[in-house]
Amino acid sequence: MIETERLLLRPPEDGDVDAIFRFVADPEVMRWIGEDGRTGTYADAVGRVERYRRAWEVDGFGHFMVVPKGSGDPIGRVGILVWDPRTWEHGARLELGEAAELELGWTLERAAWGHGFATEAATAVADWAFRELQPTRVISLIRPDNARSLRVAQKLGERYQRDVTVSGTTVQLWALASPA
């Protein structure tokens, strides 16, 4: 668990499906996520929670649920995804080893936008990742027209590196070097 001024960040639990469903069912949120921005079903939300939990079991890290203090109800997720930079497909760090790129990513339900929660949570997770996982850098893959996420990346101190293609979609690769 990570605690910030306003948030608790914790690994996902089975009871988080409803919170995940709130953002996967929202077309405005999902237009920035995945290959085609398609909304998801309740079953998709169940699958996401299962994948998020499996990442913690396999690699010992993954997505944190973002919970405002005093609410108990998650408003999204911020965490670390593992990518194979040769193919830009998800994988496990255990399998990809040192070749893996660790992506710091965030998705919050629309009602939580504009309050600084993504920046607060992503800063805490980046600090945690550099301390616990010790990568030389973390990256964020962001669609070039996603102004909100680009602002979060800039506030984190990330810098644009280059464009990459993920599942047929061109995204910008932003990176933050380890402070160590």
* DSSP string covering 114-130: TSSHHHHHHHHHHHHHH
What's the predicted TM-score (pTM) here? 0.93
- Domain positions in the chain are 2-177
pLDDT for 164 equals: 96
- pLDDT in single tens digits along all 180 residues of the chain: 999 999 999 999 989 999 999 989 998 888 888 666 788 899 999 999 999 999 999 999 999 999 999 988 999 999 999 999 999 999 999 889 888 999 999 999 999 999 999 999 999 999 999 999 999 999 999 999 999 999 999 999 999 999 999 988 899 999 999 997
Of 34, 111, 102, 124, the residue nearest 74 (C-alpha): 111
Classify domain 2-177 at the CATH topology level.
Answer: Aminopeptidase (3.40.630)
- Name the burial class of residue 90, with classes exposed (0-12), middle (13-18) and buried (19+) by CB atoms within 10 angstroms of its CB: middle
The secondary structure of 62-112 as a DSSP string is -EEEEEETTT-S--EEEEEEEEETTTTEE--HHHHGGGPEEEEEEEE-GGG
Burial 99-129 (b: 16+ CB within 10 A, else e): ebbbbbbbbbbeebeeeebbbbbbbbbbebb
CA distance from start to end of the chain = 23
Task: Give φ, ψ of 68 to 5 degrees.
Answer: -60, 135
Structure tokens at 105: 């990513």
pLDDT for 33 equals: 83
pLDDT for 131 equals: 96
- Indicate the SS3 state at residue 45: helix
Structure tokens at 28: 């405005």
pLDDT for 145 equals: 93
pLDDT for 34 equals: 66
Q: How far apart are CA 148 and CA 117, in angstroms?
A: 12
